[in-house]
Amino acid sequence: MIIDSEQSAVGLERLHDRVLQHLQVIYHHVAVPQGLEQLADELVSTMGLDGDVHFPRQYANHWNQGDVVMITYGDTVLAENEKPLQTLKRFLDNYTGGVISAVHLLPFYPWSSDDGFSVLDYSSVNEALGDWDDVAAIAADYDLMADLVINHCSSRSLWFENFLKDEDPGRDYFFTASPDDDLSAVVRPRTSPLLREVTTARGTEWVWCTFSHDQVDLDFRNPAVLRQFVSIVRHYLNNGVRLFRLDAVAFLWKIPGTSCLNLEQTHELVRLLRTLVEHARPDAVLITETNIPNRENLSYFGNANEAHCVYNFSLPPLLLNTLVSGDCSYLKQWLMSMPPAQNGTTYFNFVASHDGIGLRPAEGLLSDEELDTLIATMQEFGGHVSYRALEDGRNRPYEINISLFDALQGTLDGPDEHGLARFLCAHAIMFGLEGIPGLYIHSFLGTRNDYSRVKHSGHNRAINRHQWQLAELDEALTDPVASHGLVVRGLRDLLAIRRCQPAFHPNATQFTLHLGCHLFGFWRQSMDRRQSIFCISNISNEDQPLNLQDINLIEYHQWLDLISGEHYAGREQQLVLEPYQTLWITNMREEN
């Protein structure tokens, strides 16, 4: 709600005090020249909160079962004589209408490398894609998610050029260290050297580069960097962004001698950003992108006071392993260990993304032997592997790079005829789980491995970043027997069902079912307890029997499968699930 003028002064004072508390934690060991009181005032003013202040409702869910996020680059779909963002909007309107509520538009800023994640200018739209009007057009019809690339920026940016020249803005924006510092415990997601030697107007410096030497880490010990990013957030809000993906945020704060991962200052910075953002727009959502082991990832929920959503990074490798091995034991064990998200928070589920299938989130969940088998299988299906550096200098697999459609074209025994069914099964499982589904555009389209882009770019991740010509795509999607059209129609059908079922609300109750190793199942119940849905998938390549007594259906209810429309007479009935078939058995059907 918006507070009235009589409450304004009191509200601003409370907000100032809350921001100040965050800053006291963040800068506990850092001297802030202007003082924390003044810095708090500056941040509140920069966010535009020194006038009317919105006060968010605590534990409010800003989502429902109709929310699905399409993940895409701005230039995934191209047409002659049209800006790519305009072409993308046309594609979305034509093919996703009614089943997609939000669009995660991957970095659309000017960039120098890493397909947008090495940002040159945070305030501009890449001219090759379009302009802010084109972004606003997407935001007008879909909730817009944008990346806040907060850990690093391009070595060719104005900020870094000024760092080299010892000029503002940028003079003290970047984190430096000495090769003599104890950096042995630093967790790395890449194999490149952590420090990069540069010549500046002050002499030789060593800048910190978590990801690549073109992506130089910013130094949030300098409050000027924090002020810049608060200004950037305000700018994005003004241009229609509602969901903020905090890219690589786990690496934000560095202290040599530590892992430099998930430090308390990093968590407090997320809390600070949430405070500022939700007072500017109460329905704004922060999503942390932390490709790290499961327990560490969950810590970014805080006490419902950090991220509204966390990426469910363990789901892709576990679900992939389940479907190629035909054994859901590890997926089931993991699901049972996942705490239900508090109201006001939820999981962001995905099976594939613009990056590869991360392996770190599977650490402690799958054994090294199982991971090695999975990697070898994906390599047989045309995938590549990217590595990270360990403390002892060895390299370890970090992610599998492969299109999901190709990844699911077979099992550990090799390719088979069940690829399409297996692929749709993966999404049916993901769509049913507690949380908001994120659907990568190349999964929506059933895109195959793009080896030419890998060769051209020299980067493994390009294998799953194909660019479609819209005319070619239209032809592929209208072909009644082509796999691309079958995928789109199959996913659209599932999403159309999902969006009408209150038991699929992201915060609806979820319990894991125990149906053996070949049937993966869980139960969802709507928040008003009126609707139940039993989600059961055959994750094997053989028929599997299911006795309805095993899922404890209430006898006096009428039950049906939402996907097939088949009704069930009673608990004594025994079904047979075909390979990779999914059932959504419910006691009530909700329709548009």
pTM value is: 0.96
Structure tokens at 470: 């819209």
Q: What pLDDT sits at residue 1?
A: 45
290 vs 41: CA distance, rounded Å: 30
Q: Rounded to the nearest 5 degrees, what angle is found at the Cα of 545, between the Cα atoms of 539 and 549?
A: 110
Catalytic center residues: 247
| 247 annotated binding-site participant | yes
User: Can you say whether the dihedral through the CA atoms of 190, 385, 368, 348 is positive or negative?
Assistant: positive
217 beta partners: 152
* Pair type for strands 436-440 and 69-72: parallel
393 vs 4: CA distance, rounded Å: 60
| 355 annotated binding-site participant | yes
Ramachandran category for residue 2: left, alpha or beta (phi over 0 → left; psi -120 to 50 → alpha): beta
State which fold the 509-586 domain adopts.
Immunoglobulin-like (2.60.40)
Q: What pLDDT sits at residue 393?
A: 78
Number of H helices, E strands in the chain: 17, 29
102 vs 506: CA distance, rounded Å: 15
219 vs 210: CA distance, rounded Å: 12
| 246 annotated binding-site participant | yes
Q: Are 74 and 88 in contact (CB under 8 A)?
A: yes
Burial class, 478, CB count within 10 angstroms (exposed 0-12 / middle 13-18 / buried 19+): exposed
* E strand or H helix at 495: helix 483-498
Choose among 131, 89, 90: nearest CA to 110.
Answer: 131
| 114 annotated binding-site participant | yes
| 571 annotated binding-site participant | no
148 vs 236: CA distance, rounded Å: 9
Q: Are 280 and 314 in contact (CB under 8 A)?
A: no
567 vs 502: CA distance, rounded Å: 20
**Domain range summary for the chain, segments of one domain joined by +:** 67-100+314-499, 509-586
Helices 36-46, 5-26: crossing angle, 10 deg rounding: 120
Structure tokens at 249: 């945020």
Whether 509-586 and 67-100+314-499 are alike in CATH topology: the answer is: no
> For every one of its 592 residues, what pLDDT tens digit does the chain have, with 9 covering 90 and above?
444 555 567 788 999 999 999 999 999 989 898 899 999 999 999 999 987 677 888 899 999 999 999 999 999 999 999 999 999 999 999 999 889 999 999 999 999 999 999 999 999 999 999 999 999 999 999 999 999 999 999 999 999 999 999 999 999 999 999 999 999 999 989 999 999 999 999 999 999 999 999 999 999 999 999 999 999 999 999 999 999 999 999 999 999 999 999 999 999 999 999 999 999 999 999 999 998 899 999 999 999 999 999 999 999 999 999 999 999 999 999 999 999 999 999 999 999 999 999 999 999 999 999 999 999 999 999 999 999 988 777 899 999 999 999 999 999 999 999 999 999 999 999 999 999 999 999 999 999 999 999 999 999 999 999 999 999 999 999 998 899 999 999 999 999 999 999 999 999 999 999 999 999 999 999 999 999 999 999 999 999 999 988 887 776 668 999 999 999 876 678 899 999 999 999 997 666 5
| 147 annotated binding-site participant | no
Q: What pLDDT sits at residue 197?
A: 98
| 269 annotated binding-site participant | no
239 vs 144: CA distance, rounded Å: 10
Structure tokens at 529: 């307890």
**CATH, range 67-100+314-499:** 3.20.20.80
| 461 annotated binding-site participant | yes
104 vs 381: CA distance, rounded Å: 28
